[in-house]
Amino acid sequence: MKRNAVACARTWLLLLAVLSLTAAAPARAGTWVHGVEGTRGFQLWVPTGYAPGTPLPLVVALHGCFQNPSQFAGLTRLNEKADAEQFLVLYPNQATFANPTQCWNFMLVLNQTRDHGEPALVVRMVEQVRRHYAVDARRVYVGGVSSGAVLAGTLLACYSDVFAAGMIGAGAMYKAATTISGTGFAMLFGSIYHPDDRGRDAWVCSGRPRHTMPVLVVHGTKDSVVDLVNGRQATRQFLQTSDYGDDGVANDSIRPAATQVTRASVPGGRAYTVEDYVYGGALVARHIEVQGMDHAWPGGDSRYPFADPSGPDGTALMWDFFRQHTRN
């Protein structure tokens, strides 16, 4: 009897999740939609003016520790950007039973492979949204901050057939650590693993694809939680991944040498440096360092934790990078 009751409850929860998505599908004003996939919930922002017959880009936005989707949306003002630029935003939510601090468990080997763990859950969320909304499958992107940024890097590494580009904000490279103790060391001093080796691992995780994996990395030079070296390792790792991806071998056809460096500053705010890596006429990677910024989202709303309002608009930087990339 108890087993039947549990099974019945699970069935009703699944039906309610599906019905909530289905009922909201024709939404026209900017609205929140809540859903469930497996053991995780998510929130979906459907932008103002959404029309079911017009496919839109989809941005998967991954919050960091001590955050939830609503807080991350408020911090980044990503929903406002989605309304202005016309794209959907999917916010997966880490469960407190999986991590009491709501960090994504990127350091567990289970979550560093394809078709397993948290990355697989997020991809299934993408698939669920695509079943109920008009999504341009060539323009699905993933970005995050802190632990969410590392998960974003894992998704880009292992599911390059799903994501056209990714953004790593105050995060680390793919498989920067594979244990909890190793994670603490990597956060403070950088990964003990070489980015070139992890670059190949990322390429293999996606099934040795013959295409690049465009990435934007944004990091503060005074990050006291995840040291700046992690951002640099992440950029180099994905450049190596793309070096394998463009022709199947590591031959420096794509190198860790910026083709253009730009220095700018926010009026009355922080200076920042933009390094572009353009190969074959395509922007393969962009690395941005914000001078003096701690562990934060640049240009974020000061009403939320982990905001640095004096930095450049991180959300605008992310979307500007994403919109230049379409998955073939």
Tokens 């969320």, located at residue: 125
pLDDT value at 316 more than 90: yes
Residue with tokens 């794209």, as numbered in its chain: 87
Burial class of residue 80 (count of CB atoms within 10 Å of its CB; 0-12, 13-18, 19+): middle
Indicate the domain borders of the chain. Answer: 27-322
**How distant, in Å, are the alpha carbons of 34, 39, 42, 90, 218 from that of 124?**
15, 11, 11, 12, 27
Residue 1, pLDDT score: 36
pLDDT number for residue 328: 82
Q: Across the beta sheet with 31-37, what order do the strands follow? A: 31-37, 40-46, 88-93, 56-62, 135-145, 165-169, 215-220, 282-290, 271-279, 260-265
| pLDDT at 107 exceeding the cut of 60 | yes
Q: Is the pLDDT at 44 greater than 70, yes or no?
A: yes
Q: Give the pLDDT score at 26.
A: 45
pLDDT at 8 > cutoff 50: no
CATH number of 27-322: 3.40.50.1820
Mean pLDDT of 169-188: 96
Instruction: Using alpha carbons, select from 42, 3, 50, 63 the residue that is nearest to residue 24.
Output: 50
What is the pLDDT, as a whole number, of residue 29? 62
- Mean pLDDT, the chain, whole residue set: 92
Q: Hunting for tokens 């990395």 — which residue is that?
A: 217
Distance CA 71, CA 304 (A): 7
Q: What is the pLDDT of residues 235-266, one digit of tens each?
A: 999 999 999 999 999 999 999 999 999 999 99
pLDDT in tens, 126-157: 999 999 999 999 999 999 999 999 999 999 99
**Which tens digits make up the pLDDT trace of 258-276?**
999 999 999 999 999 999 9
pLDDT at 13 over 50: no
Q: What integer pLDDT is reported at residue 234 of this predicted model?
A: 99
Residue 12 has pLDDT above 70, yes or no: no
